[in-house]
Structure 1
Amino acid sequence: MNQEFGAIADLVRLHAQHTPDRPALADAQHTLDYRALDALMDRVAAALQRDGLRAGDAIAVCAASSVHYTAVFLGALRAGVAVAPLAPGSAPASLARMITDADARLLFTDASAAEVISAAKATGLPHIALDGSEVGRALDDWLAAPDARPEPVQTQPGWAFNIIYSSGTTGEPKGIVQGHGMRWSHIQRGAKYEYDSHTVTLLSTPLYSNTTLVVFFPTIAFGGCVVLMPKFDALAYLQLAEKHRVTHTMLVPVQYQRLMAHPRFDAHDLSTFRHKFSTSAPFNAALKADVLKRWPGGLVEFYGMTEGGGTCILEAHLNPTKLHTVGQPAPGSDIRLIDEEGNELPRDNLDAAGEVVGHSAGMMTGYHRQPEKTREAEWFDATGKRFIRTGDVGRFDADGFLTLFDRKKDMIISGGFNIYPSDLEAVVRGHAAVADVAVVGVPSEQWGETPVAFVVRREGDATTEDALLQWANAQVGKTQRLARLSFIDELPRSAIGKVLKRELRDLSA
């Protein structure tokens, strides 16, 4: 893993040759060892090439986590084909836009996405059912012959590995293109966190999230086994962790909260854990402390963006006095702070708070087919070095640990997923009853944060709050639904007309 670059699909081949009987993937219905996974990847890659796909093309996958989902993902990589993993809970119109934006040539799906896929069939893509359901052609029928071998592909670091969509309720979705080189950088840090051929990783976050993939691929690269949960349930998670003797996991903070609060948490044997990871949302210091006290193994928090641009890492078990921070810049990550005008703030000014920007080997190529959005996300230092802007405001302490204070952007993180208020505001404004609207994120015990809408109703309109809330939530994906909607006489605004969202949050307290 110390080599400058390698292909993950090639590593699977090596594992199949040296440890063919070692389990690679498991879900509730199936288990694949490395021999079977390697053969299935060949059949996927050969079928893609048979259908005319070549290196640089893309497929879309919209399904629940499963062994066959991951085998298709890995098989596409063997053919040099990029993967756009999409959320089954997306709104139909949004899903159609993302499929089109990715230039996907095939769509792999299952019954979990049946409703939304039916509404998105206007894309005209061939549908392949991973689970044998009626949503498309059966995977077994589509695959190449059992003894098929694809044409060899020499994977390049700059090729697109995957396209992850950060939003997309309305307007143009943003596809984050991550290269093979970026994913290889995640593999290279794997040895530090004790990934090896005996690793067993339990994943209950979805495969369309970068949160999941930053742990999934290192496990496979090192020859370990990934156990997949299509849906998180605290008790089921604990039972699987004990049954499979799990060593690694990735969870978002709200999942840690639910696990630690479960009455049977302490009754389960979790002594095999080496490292637990977290990312995607603010992680309360008190909750970190509880995890450290009651759950064996290290606790590591990653702070960064799907777009890449540098990572901060908090090894909480080694830094118990820094639990209020997101850690220090990772090796190879250059993290800096800039002011409102884009000027770099001096690192030795410990009173200075600014927007966090970062540079590393693991940066997105750009937003797919959106050069203007890409330029907006970039910042360059005096030497021309490229950084990615996070939109987060933070400050370094004397030891180089980063504390976050607020997000410049109004993004809401609910259950580990990003929700953009402007998307939801555009939806609500589409109702005839709405004169003005603002959406803010408010604290939620269940989700970490949840979106709430404040609406100025048109004069004389009789629509009720409940009716408008139900209408709005029917227009968006499951993870983007409003928790509450309240009528207000007038939105608070500054002298230049900017909505004062902090005042709205105070109203929600």
Structure 2
Amino acid sequence: MIAGHARQQPDAPALTTGEQTLSYAQLDALIDRIAATLQRDGLTPGDTIAIDAFANNAYVALFMGALRAGLAVAPLAPSSTPAQIGTMTGDAGARHLFLDAPNAAAVPADITGHGVRRIRLDDSTDGDERLSDWLAPEGARPTPVTLGWTHPFNIIYSSGTTGTPKGIVHSHGLRWGQIRRAEAAGYGPGNVTLIATPLYSNTTLVVVIPTLARGGHLVMMSKFDTRGYLELAQKHRATHTMLVPVQYQRLMDYADFDRYDLSSFTFKACTSAPFNAALKAQVLQRWPGGLTEYYGMTEGGGSCILYCHLFPNKLHTVGQPAEGHEIRLIDEDGKELPREPELMGELVGRSPSMMMGYQNQPEKTREAEWFDAEGRRFIRTGDVGRFDADGFLILMDRRKDMVISGGFNIYPSDLEAELRQHPAVADVAVVGVPSKEWGETPVAFVVRKAGSTDDAESIRAWMNGRVGKTQRLHALRFIDELPRSAIGKILKRELRETYSET
């Protein structure tokens, strides 16, 4: 599809990072060179390359070039430890690892293994091969390959919030399904997609791939900051974006937000972490264009969509199941529950967008699957939720984050929503910690609003006076900033560990 756009609109911008822009003709030629070079090195369809770098034009061209050669891509998180990079590279079976200078310095060659070829995407060196030296001559073209529906497209490693990252294998069929839906979201020639989330995240790829497949212009930030994002949006007349909730919050909190001209936006999306109703309402009020929230997992399964601009009275939900997606509820024993309003259970989903499985981990794959009475395969989300009378899904919590205190189920999201009502609370996370008396008990970590002088005990007393006896907080601690992954997920495991260490 990119080659087609290169023929139809050769001079149209395809990729921009900073002051560097590649047209579709330039991008297509670079993709050809990369694919031809990978084939020259003996890589064949089904092989994998790994990338550990920050977002830029060369990264995207490399990703697309690998696909053109029939390879799968394993984009790795730069925030991973050197040992994790080595483990993930080996797990993916990657023979080539592409890095930029900061990440190459953080990952010694002996970590990635002697059989892995290290190439610098940014043409830096320090012992590794430079991209410009590795590439085949200009004009090189690859041998065409034929790909099937189930051919691996990428291996995305989970963020590691629950331990060692697992490789989630996506197929070309899954990605093609996303491309087919892109036209309805307004992707096409003339659209400008601004991204400020990392390229190793599925959150980012679900807008990157449709943008390029439909001939749009992709503008990338290597690292998000509020002022830089707004300046780029205004400069490029951005029409589309994907942000995570913490980024929306920072933009809404930015004092000069309303001074920027954002009237070009038609499509704003959000996913990856809980998006509270008050923040959605604020974005709708202050930022032109529609706002769409997606609920789902990198593993795929069932997804929900909430068109916030069309259903302003449903902002407390994550919307309804997407077309062709089925979501059911199961109990703790894995038995299906009737879909009745307010009945709560773990969510399992089925759709054309489902992972092939976890790379080299068949047991983990089986643990993630659930089969109905007819033997149809669903993916378990680990989330607890319920449907309202109109079929909109209300999320409660991750099942593993639910606190069981004295035999009662306590949902941290309920306590967090209540705590946000306090005028001194800017951000909050509630976790369960061990208790000799109750088994578990809830503890809140609170980020205070600037200028607040309220002490922790007064906020805890205020909170405990508003909830039932079983929901009362055992402790409340102030924290400067909640620990989050690169795509905005609160790392509750780290909070539990922080509490247990003191």
- State the TM bucket, normalised to the shorter chain: 0.7 to 0.9
Aligned to 2:322: 330
CA distance in 2, matches of 1:120, 1:250: 37
Aligned to 1:303: 295
Distance of aligned partners of 1:152 and 1:72 in 2 relative to their CA distance in 1, 3 Å threshold: same
* Corresponding position: 1:399 with 2:390: yes
Query: What's the CA shift string for 1:336-356, capped at 9, x where partnerless?
Result: 111111111112x21310001
Query: Identity over the aligned pairs, expressed in percent?
Result: 59
Aligned to 1:270: 262
Instruction: Find the residue that maps to 2:175 and give its secondary structure.
Output: helix
Distance of aligned partners of 1:369 and 1:83 in 2 relative to their CA distance in 1, 3 Å threshold: same
* Corresponding position: 1:206 with 2:219: no
Give 1:75's aligned amino acid. Answer: G
CA distance in 2, matches of 1:151, 1:345: 52
CA distance in 1, matches of 2:164, 2:235: 44
Q: TM-score with structure 2 length normalisation?
A: 0.81
Deviates more, 1:25-34 or 1:118-127: 118-127
Give unmatched runs, 5+ long, in structure 1: 1-10, 414-420, 426-436, 447-472, 490-509
The question of whether the paired residues in 2 share the 8 Å contact of 1:92 and 1:120 is answered with no
Q: Work out which of the residue numbers 408, 426, 431 in structure 1 matches 2:399.
A: 408
CA distance in 2, matches of 1:248, 1:340: 40
Give 2:38's aligned amino acid. Answer: L
Quote the offset at 1:168 in angstroms. Answer: 4.4
Quote the offset at 1:487 in angstroms. Answer: 5.4
Aligned to 1:23: 13
Aligned to 1:294: 286
Distance of aligned partners of 1:445 and 1:320 in 2 relative to their CA distance in 1, 3 Å threshold: farther
Query: What's the CA shift string for 1:265-302, capped at 9, x where partnerless?
Result: 00000000010000000001000000000000000000
Instruction: Find the residue that maps to 1:383 and give its secondary structure.
Output: coil
Aligned to 2:77: 87
Q: Work out which of the residue numbers 29, 45, 63 in structure 1 matches 2:35.
A: 45
Query: What's the CA shift string for 1:332-375, capped at 9, x where partnerless?
Result: 1011111111111112x213100011001010000001000000
Query: What's the CA shift string for 1:61-96, capped at 9, x where partnerless?
Result: 000000000000000000110000001111111111
CA distance in 1, matches of 2:293, 2:72: 28
CA distance in 2, matches of 1:233, 1:138: 30
CA distance in 2, matches of 1:255, 1:146: 40
Number of aligned residues: 430
Alignment of 1:378-389 (within 5 A): 378-389=369-380
The question of whether the paired residues in 1 share the 8 Å contact of 2:187 and 2:210 is answered with yes
CA distance in 1, matches of 2:447, 2:364: 31
Distance of aligned partners of 1:51 and 1:313 in 2 relative to their CA distance in 1, 3 Å threshold: same
Aligned to 1:176: 168
* Corresponding position: 1:73 with 2:66: no
CA distance in 1, matches of 2:185, 2:101: 36
Aligned to 1:356: 347
Stretches (4+) displaced over 6 A = 437-441, 478-481
Alignment of 1:52-131 (within 5 A): 52-118=42-108, 121-124=111-114, 125-131=116-122
Aligned to 2:313: 321
The question of whether the paired residues in 2 share the 8 Å contact of 1:308 and 1:388 is answered with yes
Give unmatched runs, 5+ long, in structure 2: 403-411, 414-430, 435-439, 450-482
Instruction: Find the residue that maps to 2:83 and give its secondary structure.
Output: helix
Distance of aligned partners of 1:39 and 1:438 in 2 relative to their CA distance in 1, 3 Å threshold: farther
Aligned to 2:498: 485
The question of whether the paired residues in 2 share the 8 Å contact of 1:23 and 1:33 is answered with yes
Quote the offset at 1:121 in angstroms. Answer: 3.5
Aligned to 1:134: 125
Aligned to 1:192: 184
CA distance in 2, matches of 1:441, 1:46: 54
The question of whether the paired residues in 1 share the 8 Å contact of 2:85 and 2:112 is answered with no
Quote the offset at 1:438 in angstroms. Answer: 12
* Corresponding position: 1:369 with 2:382: no
Aligned to 1:429: none
Give 1:129's aligned amino acid. Answer: R
Give 1:28's aligned amino acid. Answer: G
Quote the offset at 1:145 in angstroms. Answer: 1.2
Alignment of 1:448-459 (within 5 A): none
CA RMSD in angstroms comes to 2.8
Alignment of 1:143-292 (within 5 A): 143-168=135-160, 172-292=164-284
CA distance in 1, matches of 2:112, 2:202: 27
Distance of aligned partners of 1:279 and 1:27 in 2 relative to their CA distance in 1, 3 Å threshold: same
CA distance in 2, matches of 1:31, 1:440: 49
Quote the offset at 1:406 in angstroms. Answer: 1.3
CA distance in 2, matches of 1:445, 1:239: 29
CA distance in 1, matches of 2:56, 2:93: 24
CA distance in 1, matches of 2:248, 2:111: 37
Quote the offset at 1:29 in angstroms. Answer: 4.0
Distance of aligned partners of 1:442 and 1:100 in 2 relative to their CA distance in 1, 3 Å threshold: farther
Quote the offset at 1:253 in angstroms. Answer: 0.1
CA distance in 1, matches of 2:226, 2:107: 29
CA distance in 1, matches of 2:446, 2:215: 40
* Corresponding position: 1:342 with 2:329: no
The question of whether the paired residues in 2 share the 8 Å contact of 1:95 and 1:120 is answered with no
CA distance in 1, matches of 2:448, 2:365: 34
Give 1:98's aligned amino acid. Answer: M
Q: TM-score with structure 1 length normalisation?
A: 0.80
CA distance in 1, matches of 2:59, 2:247: 23
CA distance in 2, matches of 1:156, 1:76: 15
Instruction: Find the residue that maps to 1:131 and give its secondary structure.
Output: coil
Give 2:33's aligned amino acid. Answer: R
The question of whether the paired residues in 1 share the 8 Å contact of 2:89 and 2:112 is answered with no
